[in-house]
Amino acid sequence: MKGWHMYSEIQALKEKGFSIRQVSRLIRVSRNTIRKYWDMPPDEYAATLMCINKLSALSAYEPPVLHWLESYPCMSAAQVRDWLCEKYYVDAAERTVRRFVAGLREKHGIKKKDTPQREYEAVDELPMGFQLQMDFGVKTVRSAYSSRYTKLYVAAFSLSCSRYKWGIFQEKPFTSENLVRALYSCFEYMGGMPCQLVYDQDSILVVSENNGDIIHTHAFAAFLQETHLQTLVCRKSDPETKGKIEAVVRFIKGNFMENRLFMDLDIWNRSFEEWLDRTGNGRVHGTTKRKPCELFAEEQKCLLPLFGTPPEKNADSMSRTVRKDNTILYCSNRYSLPLGTFNTQKTVNLELVNERLKIFTITSDLLAEHQLCRDKGKLIKADSHRYERNQKVQERLEKAVSLLGEEFREYLTALCLSKPRYVKEQLALVVKTCESYGRETTLKAVWFCSEQELWSASDLANASAALSDRTPSPAATRLPVSDDKYHIDVQLRPLSVYAEAALEARQ
């Protein structure tokens, strides 16, 4: 939609009281474009439109650009702009060049070199009651009571033979426990369970593909073990493997959720079940040419009886991303995790039970537990999640004592207490001093530093160096009195000489 038609539509919907976001959805134009023309008067828009429709300044360079595109069909607009700047010194805007190149491609039928397309094959219809496919979706909907928007998450399920559908919505991302309960609800709704379950490699289901030996999350693995379901996991980045449920999710988002106002989650789920009876399962399917509800009446007889019981609903559960400082955010507060969690767990699950916040891995292993804080902007940190500096200091101290001897323990302990932030460097310098000047000399320096209360490895090194210089033989330190070169006559001057020199310097 372009020109006066678009401008008229925007102004007409504005007069009817629609918001910018609603107008964007209705006429399929970006909100930035609508915001640009929202308060623009017709005269100003006419002048703007006239500038847009002017002949492009790049039209003079059409022959060389056309030659480049014909010679190199894969050439991008960014490269065309660079060549124009290099060869013709044309400094045009990127958007202008992009539009110019797109117009030339459309005018002369020049297509970019196509990337290899995947070949698809029609899948044979599966027997009744054999397979159930599931997938997730998310969409933002507007509240019925305010201008706010709510993000809703849906887990959708569909039988491959009859295309009979079911789903459930919630306001938070699904966890493994949420999904297991949803599966049991789906089986109860359908009156049985299939032989095989098809799903994607979602983090709440699959920990690792493991070269075909799939490792599932703890809760989902327990569910599979209890129900004895066969599984078919789609390969990574290959959603087409479960194309039927992909189409169902698009159908739900486009037909049921689009333009529907959100009031309450229970009302929303009840409305969804009514929609399933009316449209989702009550309308003739384009492939089977039958209504899913009619075909399901036949397929239901082939479903297996339900094994196992649904787990009890735990307290509020959600997921969070682990921050670099090994904390997670919850209700504007930071809660600590064990050191090293960030390097091994990028995402964790939370559960709120009796004012206690429990933090689990995606495989449902407990990581940490904190008392819930009702304030904001606080750091709730467990003592066990702190860096054990004292333990490291003690380990380094014991290592230094084992190298130097028990005689050094008292001095080294005082050294660690005086400089706790530089324990590693101080102990390393003590060891180096002992290696350089010998253990006996260093031990004498230790006694000297202890008497003088010099608690520094640098002072110890200086004292050891001084003691080592004093240790030469006494004969080598005496000056020969009989040698005349050690007897020098000093010239004597009267003080008046120095007074006159100072007076001259002042002048």
| C-alpha neighbours within 13 Å on the C-beta side of residue 102 | 6
Number of H helices, E strands in the chain: 20, 14
H/E stretch holding 149 reads strand 149-159
Res 374: pLDDT:
86
For residue 91, report the phi and psi dihedrals to the nearest 5 degrees.
-105, 80
Res 73: pLDDT:
87
Q: Which two tokens stand for residue 46?
A: 């006419």
For residues 106-117, give the mean pLDDT: 76
| Torsion of Cα atoms, 314 then 315 then 321 then 325, to 10° | -120
Res 472: pLDDT:
44
Res 475: pLDDT:
42
Q: What is the pLDDT of residues 264-294, one digit of tens each?
A: 999 999 999 999 999 999 999 988 899 999 9
Question: How many CB atoms within 10 Å of residue 496?
Answer: 8
The whole-chain average pLDDT of the chain stands at: 83
Res 97: pLDDT:
87
Q: Which domains does the chain have, with CATH numbers?
A: 3-108 (no CATH), 131-302 (3.30.420.10), 316-385 (no CATH), 389-472 (no CATH)
List residues bridging with 359 in a β-sheet.
Answer: 350, 368
Res 217: pLDDT:
83
The string of DSSP codes covering 59-114 is GGGHHHHHHHHHH-TT--HHHHHHHHHHHH-----HHHHHHHHHHHHHHHT-PPPP
Do the Cβ atoms of 301 and 335 come closer than 8 Å? no
Kindly state the DSSP code that residue 458 receives in the 8-state scheme: H
pTM: 0.51
**What are the angstrom distances between the C-alpha of 174 and each of 69, 137, 180?**
48, 10, 10
Kindly state the DSSP code that residue 143 receives in the 8-state scheme: B
Q: Which two tokens stand for residue 324?
A: 């670099």
Res 391: pLDDT:
64
Q: What is the pLDDT of residues 57-78, one digit of tens each?
A: 688 888 899 999 998 888 888 8
Q: Among 16-25, 215-224, 230-239, 377-386, which is the least confidently predicted range?
A: 230-239
**What are the angstrom distances between the C-alpha of 171 and each of 87, 137, 268?**
56, 12, 11
Q: What is the pLDDT of residues 194-250, one digit of tens each?
A: 999 999 888 788 877 777 678 888 888 888 988 889 998 887 666 667 888 999 999
Q: What residues have CB less than 8 Å from 244, skipping those under 6 apart?
A: 133, 158, 160, 163
Res 477: pLDDT:
47
Asked if the model's pLDDT at residue 173 lies above 60, the reply is: yes
Asked if the model's pLDDT at residue 310 lies above 50, the reply is: yes
Res 487: pLDDT:
65
Q: Which two tokens stand for residue 86?
A: 């290099």
Do the Cβ atoms of 55 and 103 come closer than 8 Å? no
Res 422: pLDDT:
80
What is the β-pairing status of strands 333-336 and 379-380? parallel
**Burial of 501 (C-beta count, 10 Å sphere; 0-12/13-18/19+):** exposed
Asked if the model's pLDDT at residue 137 lies above 80, the reply is: yes
List residues bridging with 170 in a β-sheet.
Answer: 153
Query: Coil, strand, or helix at residue 480?
Result: coil
**What are the angstrom distances between the C-alpha of 466 and each of 432, 445, 452, 469, 479?**
16, 9, 15, 5, 20
Asked if the model's pLDDT at residue 115 lies above 60, the reply is: no
Q: How confident is the model at residue 365 (pLDDT cuts 50, 70, 90)?
A: confident
Question: How many CB atoms within 10 Å of residue 221?
Answer: 17
Do the Cβ atoms of 272 and 186 come closer than 8 Å? no
Dist. CA 141–CA 306, nearest whole Å: 35
Do the Cβ atoms of 434 and 404 come closer than 8 Å? yes
Residue type, 418: S
B/e letters for 20-50, b = 16+ CB within 10 Å, e = fewer, are eebbbeebebeeeebeebeeeeeeebeeeee
Give all strands (DSSP E) within 295-419, no chain letters.
Answer: 316-321, 327-330, 333-336, 347-353, 356-360, 366-371, 379-380
